[in-house]
Structure 1
Amino acid sequence: MSLSFHLGALRSHVLCSVFCRPVSLCNQRPLVSFCFDDFPRTAYTVGGTILKSFGVHGTFYAAPRLIDTTNGLGDQLTRDDIDSLLTDGHELGCQTFSHLSYRALPLSTFELEVLKGRKFLRELTGYDPCNFAYPQGHVSLRCKRRLGPQMSSSRGTCSGINIQIADLNLLRANSLYGDLDQMDRIESLLSHNVSGHGWLIFYTHDVRRNHSPFGCTPALLDGTLLLAMKKGCRIASIKEAISTHEIPETPQRRAANVYDRAISGPGSA
């Protein structure tokens, strides 16, 4: 394997090992969550409809500035889509206000982008989108330390399964891209999730037959859902999955968070 692959794996390992907010997983059944990033209209109109047909919920991460726009993922979310998905019982998550990567901004500005997006969606809908996903999966240790304690959870694109312990500051997640030729990989992930009694998170973007490189076909989403349920997994949104576990904030953790903020200061490491 290439040097870049090994360096990427090392970076992912470090990101997932430092500034963690661990919660013990005590699942009675293995969990599977489906997430839709950005989100394009087809994520809800097609993907959300598929989830609804199974009687389950997903998490849709929104960046308000994308409302009523179009890009390579197709038409983006509308206000009606947001209202409808909440009515259907799906979860609305936050993905900054403008869908900007932390790499393009000072940390203090990126923090404001995250909080601005959450505040905008809360004021728009009355629903607090307290679970966050990093745009493009870009995350650093500085971001993780600063933002993690402010959100119920943060999710990136570090692959793997959350087994025994999940890090709420950087939940592991796996891409759900392509068509039915990906089912062997999906079946392997689901089997490992069942054997480990873990929490497996999938993420995708658009859901349509002519999907983008960052989306999937309706058939792949439907097939993954069906296989997960056949294997005895419980399908839950991020919020629903977290709510199954008690996550007390100990005095030590609370003091550590306050101390981190005090010594960091705006825009510092």
Structure 2
Amino acid sequence: MKILIVILCALLSSTSAFSMTLIDGQVTNGGDGYVAEFFLLLDSALSHMPATIPLENNATLQRSVLQQARNQVQISSEENLHLDGREVSAINQPFTNPPTIKLSRSFWKVLSENQKLQLVVHEIFPVAGVYDADYKNSTALIRIIAQTTPLSFSSLAAATSVCDTDTINAIPEEPFMRLTTDEQKKALLIESLNQSCAPLLRKYIAMNINMDICVGGISLMNWYLRQATGDERTFDILKLLMLGGAPVTQTCATRLNDSCKQIMTLKLPQPERFAEVLRCNNK
């Protein structure tokens, strides 16, 4: 889902102060950067939404209704917000005239770009008269937005660097295979191993991308073993590498890489478990 988000990040980082204007020419945010970012995310999302938006229970919503809600709503922000005795990320009052949304700055600051977009769409839905229980409608809509947003290597790299599962799972196969080079696919794979990010490995397996590669004269398996910690995530990653075609024994730069021997050379914890996962006893 964050294929869209990195594009938005670039826009945000290039602007030091925001001043969003409605169609009647009135400035709405009073120099409030949080409000400006909310509108920037919303406007970008609106531009990628279909004219008819599918909702739960076979219902639909016209994009024009969301656009009207965007033009009517008044957004403000406060450092902290509380509702019914607990701190919340936003307070939505869709039935006031005009409808209002208050943002918690402390919450907003720590949200990822993907989470911000999720919150933005979730909060605008009630203003348009749509109930968004458990973020079901907003989550479905953001998936649609991701499918219509052009792929970029930078956005994929950013998603992989934080192991953004939603974005990675939403990567469309055909554009990805067509628009990324072999070197870019390799770079994303290596970054996923740096982050112990299993979702990208699963995505590569689903797209039949072979992981039989070398990294600077070292087999991919040996390269990962050099940073292995011996926790469960490590073994999950190794299993996925095996499924993805990364060989246990591989020649890179004329040198034979034997991952079973590497286990003993590196004195990894739980060597028996590593040997079991790599099927060293079957060699």
TM-score, length-scaled by structure 1: 0.22
More helix by share: 2
Normalization by structure 2: what TM-score? 0.21
Higher relative contact order (CA 8 A, sep 6+): 1
